[in-house]
Structure 1
Amino acid sequence: MTSLEDLTRLVPPPASPPPTDWNVIESLLQTPLPDDYKQLTDTYGPGVFCDFVHLYHPHGATEWVDLTGPMPARLRRQLVADRDSGTCPVPHDPENLFALAVTDNGNRLFWITTPGEEPDAWRIAVDQADGRAWYTHDGNLTSFLVALLSGHVRAPVFPDGLLGNGAFFTPARPADDGPPATPNPAGATTSREVIRQWARSQGYDVPDRGRVPGHVIQAWERAAERFRR
């Protein structure tokens, strides 16, 4: 039995979560993502576990829970600043941390993205809101959620009463405008096919071949600029 099967038995998912085009998302982020996260997201959609753990989602309703929004980069910059100033201990290289969830208490969950070419081997790190204590889970996100929500493991940075009302999931409204595709960090031009996929996800009527209409490219560029901020 897989960790996802364990999780769905423990916490029933919603009936019809929104679909995600992972080719577009991974092109946008310029990195492959763990299979367990993609399966988890396809099964549950955007939402929150136990009214406490808000998973980042490619269609997060706000920038605070949007996997493709500005928060992962902002948090990484903050961790770099904390490390360089010596204000807070960071047990992992901040450049290898990718934020994937936040809690109501301000804890952040991160992927430890090493080895970079093997996302299914990425482990999970959790910090306290003040960054002064960390917990590392030697497994993927889904196995962490199973251990946490079953009560078999207690992350010391989480409150004791997390499971006071049992384990449950509350769906959130997905974002209206979806994640944009964006040029890669080296400045290479994003393929027209990626723009077409993004445009169709936003309801634009674009041809399968040939020129992408100018107003569609402009809309994509505006969305990409929001992502880069």
Structure 2
Amino acid sequence: MNAALARLTDVVPPPSEPRNTDWDAAERRLGVVLPTDYKELIRTYGGSNWDDYLYLLDPGCPNDNYDLVEWEDQQTEALEGLWEFEKRPAELADAGSRVIPWATTDNGECLYWLVRAGRNPDEWTVMVNEARGDRWEHFPMNCTEFLAAVLQGDLRSALLSSRFPLTGHEFRRLVAV
């Protein structure tokens, strides 16, 4: 277990049953290898809701609304259309750079990995995009480090809800609807 995940499990005890995911199928569909920390995060918590606000996307999530592969398809298409009219974030200026969603919120903010050409997936960092707007934030850490830091109050995003995180954390694994 990586250090950030260990911190996270101290803050929010995980479900007793690990989530089994067909990573080969998911990565084939996405066309990328996913970060190791994310795979550990999903194995530990699965697709889930944190503090009644943030949704952790999961390939093959029992709740189809939060399937990572489906979100990646939708967001890629939406952003391509958006960037015909709005400026891309500076972090995406290099050829081959892109974003892949890994979480979303009740308000519509989206949390992405910043994928840069030639970078190992374990080096991907976090980008947050405001709901229905063109503001972005970049955090030079992996998704598990980001989630742990936000939940512990060590990190604050100007784009995420001021009511997140809650003082007493709430967690629920997503199930089929």
- TM-score after normalising by structure 2: 0.88
The separation in 2 between residues aligned to 1:131 and 1:62, in whole angstroms, is 27
1:40 paired with 2:46, answer no
Return the offset for 1:116.
4.4
Residues 26 and 32 of structure 1 are in contact (CA less than 8 Å); yes or no, is this contact kept in structure 2?
A: yes
User: Identity of counterpart residues, as a percentage?
Assistant: 31
The match for 1:30 is: 31
Determine helix, strand or coil for the equivalent of 1:135: strand
Matches within 5 A, 1:189-208: none
Residues 24 and 30 (structure 1 numbering): CA distance in 2 closer, same or farther, change over 3 Å? same
How many residues are matched? 173
Q: How does 1:172-191 map to 2 (within 5 A)?
A: 172-173=174-175
For residues 32-88 of structure 1, the C-alpha deviation after alignment (integer angstroms, 9 at most, x for no partner) is: 11000000000111211111110110122344310122x2122122222222213x6
- Counterparts of 1:116 and 1:77 in 2: how far apart (Å)? 23
Kindly indicate which of the two structures has a greater share of residues assigned to strand.
2
**Quick one: higher RCO (CA 8 Å, sep 6+), 1 or 2?**
2
Aligned residue in 2 for 1:138:
140
Structure 1, unaligned stretches of length 5 or more?
176-229
Structure 2 CA distance, aligned partners of 1:174 and 1:111? 26
Deviation at 1:121, TM superposition (A): 0.2
Q: Distance in 2 between matches of 1:55 and 1:127?
A: 15
Paired residue for 2:106? Answer: 104
Q: Decide whether the 8 Å contact of 1:120 with 1:140 is kept in 2.
A: yes
Paired AA for residue 41 in structure 2: L
Post-superposition shift, 1:128?
0.6
State the partner residue of 1:75: 75
1:99-131 C-alpha deviation (Å, 9 max, x unpaired) = 111100100011111144500000010011023
Measured in 2, the distance between the counterparts of 1:67 and 1:164 equals: 25
The answer (yes or no) to whether the contact 2:63–2:174 under 8 Å persists in 1 is: no
**Structure whose alpha-carbon radius of gyration is higher:** 1
Query: How far, CA to CA, are the matches of 2:14 and 2:118 in structure 1?
Result: 30
The one-letter code of the counterpart of 1:78 is: A
Instruction: Please list, as runs of the form range in 1=range in 2, the aligned pairs for 1:111-126 lying within 5 A after superposition.
Output: 111-126=113-128
| Consecutive unaligned residues in structure 2, runs of 5 or more | none
Q: Distance in 2 between matches of 1:26 and 1:89?
A: 25
State the 1:28 CA deviation. Answer: 2.6
